[in-house]
Chain A
C-alpha cells in the first residue's frame, strides 16, 4: 500500500478535562490541498498545532511519511522540518531583517551555506514581490507583507506539507487578497497544504478536499469542494455555511 504523506491515527487531544480532538483520523496525500473549516473551538487550529508537534497529545499517532512526529522525541527537529507552519499572527523575528528571518533556520538548522540559501531566499522573496524589502525590519512591513515573508520563511525549509493556520484572520481585506494569491500559486505548483480558514470563497477556489469539523470530529468530508460549498450534505454544515451569507 502506498505511504500517505500525512497520516493521523486515533489522535486524542485534550486540555485537562476539555476534550478537543476525539480519536481523530486523517490521511493526506501528496498534492492534496485540504481546507479545514468549522466553528471556532471545533479543534481545527489545535489539529494543525498537533501535526507540527507544538502540542502534547493524549493518544494516537501522527505520521509524516510513515515516521511518527512527537514533541519529546529525539528527531523532533528533523520531523518538524518536514512540516512548514504559518501562524495567524505571522510572528517574524522582530530583531532580524526580512532576509535574515528567512535565512536563520536553513543556516542554523539545516547547516546550508549562506550564499546558496541567500540565492534561494531572494528568488522566493521575489516570487511574493518582496525581494526589494530584504534589508527592512518586520516593523517596516504591512501585515500582508509580513505574512508573505512568513510563508517564504516556511517554504525555504522545503517542507513536505505546509500548514496554514488562519493566516489572513488578522489582515485588512486588501491584504488578504495579496496573501491568498501567493497560496493559490503554491497550490497550482503542486504543494501539499492543510489550510484552516474562514475565507469561504478562497476555500472553494483552492481546496481539493474539505473537512468540516465540529467538537473535534469530522462532521462532513468532501473530495468535491465545489459541490460541498453549493450543497453540503449535513444539516450542520448547511447551517454553518449559511452564516457566511447576507
Chain B
C-alpha cells in the first residue's frame, strides 16, 4: 500500500463523495415523498390511481436501476426529453426508491390495528383527523427500520451512476485504476469512502429506531 498515492487521490475521492451525496440525498428525499404519496393512494383505495401505482411499483421494484438509468439517459432524449446526467441520477433513484418506500410505508399503515382508528373515531375524530394524528405517525415510526434499509440500499445503488458518465465514487476508482493501475489503493479507498457515506446513516437509523419504538410495547 502506497500512502503517498492515497494522499494524492484524496481530493478526487472527496469530490466524488460530494457528488454522490448530492445526488443521493435528493434521490432519497424524493423517494420518500413519492413513497408516502403512493402508499396513501393504496391505503385509501383510490380507484384507478391505485392500479396505476401498483403497476409503477411492480415495474420499478423488479427491474435493475442500471436498466432504468439507461432508459432515462439514453431513451428519453429520443422522445425529446434531455436531462443532465445528474438529474437522471436523481430521477432514477427517486423512482426506484419511491417504489420501495411505497411498499414499506404501505405495510406500516396496514399494520396499525383497527382498534386504534376505532378508539380515535369513538372520541369524535373525523377520518382525516384519525389518519393525521393517530394512524400516520404510528405507521411512519414503525416503518423507520424499513425506510432506513431503503436509504442504505439507495446510497449503495449510486455505484451504477458511473455508467451514465457521472463522476461518482465508483467512476473515480475505475478511472484512476485505468490510468495508474494502483488497484489495491483505489479499491481500498473506494470501500472506505462508501463506509464514510453510509455508516453514519446506519447509525442514525439505529438511534431513530430506538427512540421511536413505542408501538411494539403495546398501546
Q: Report which A residues bind B (CB closer than 8 A).
A: 52, 54, 77-78, 80-81, 83-85, 87, 89-95, 104-105, 108-110, 137-139, 146, 150, 153-154, 157
Contacts and interface: CB of A to CB of B under 8 A. Distances in A.
Interface in B135-152: 137-138, 141
Q: Which of A90, A93, A104 has the most CB of B within 10 A?
A: A93
Contacts of A94: 138, 214-215, 217-219
Contacts of B121: 54, 80
B129 interface: yes
Nearest to A106: B123
Nearest to B217: A139
Interface of B: 113, 115-116, 118-126, 129, 133-134, 137-138, 141, 214-215, 217-219
Contacts of B116: 91, 93
A157 B118 contact: no
Contacts, number: 81
Contacts of A138: 214, 217-219
Given A95-B138, A137-B214, A138-B218, A80 B118 contact: no
A152 B126 CA distance: 20
A95 B215 contact: yes
B133 A108 contact: yes
B218 A87 contact: no
Nearest to B137: A95
12 contacts: A80-B124, A85-B119, A87-B115, A95-B138, A95-B214, A104-B123, A104-B125, A109-B123, A109-B124, A138-B217, A138-B218, A154-B122
A95 B133 CA distance: 10
Contacts of B126: 77
Contact of A93 (B118, B122, B217, B219): B219
Contact of A105 (B123, B141, B219): B123
Given A89-B115, A95-B138, A137-B214, A104 B122 contact: no
A-B pairs, top 6 by smallest CB distance, nearest first, are: A139-B217, A105-B123, A81-B124, A85-B122, A94-B214, A109-B124
Contacts of A87: 115, 118-119
Given A91-B219, A94-B217, A157 B124 contact: yes
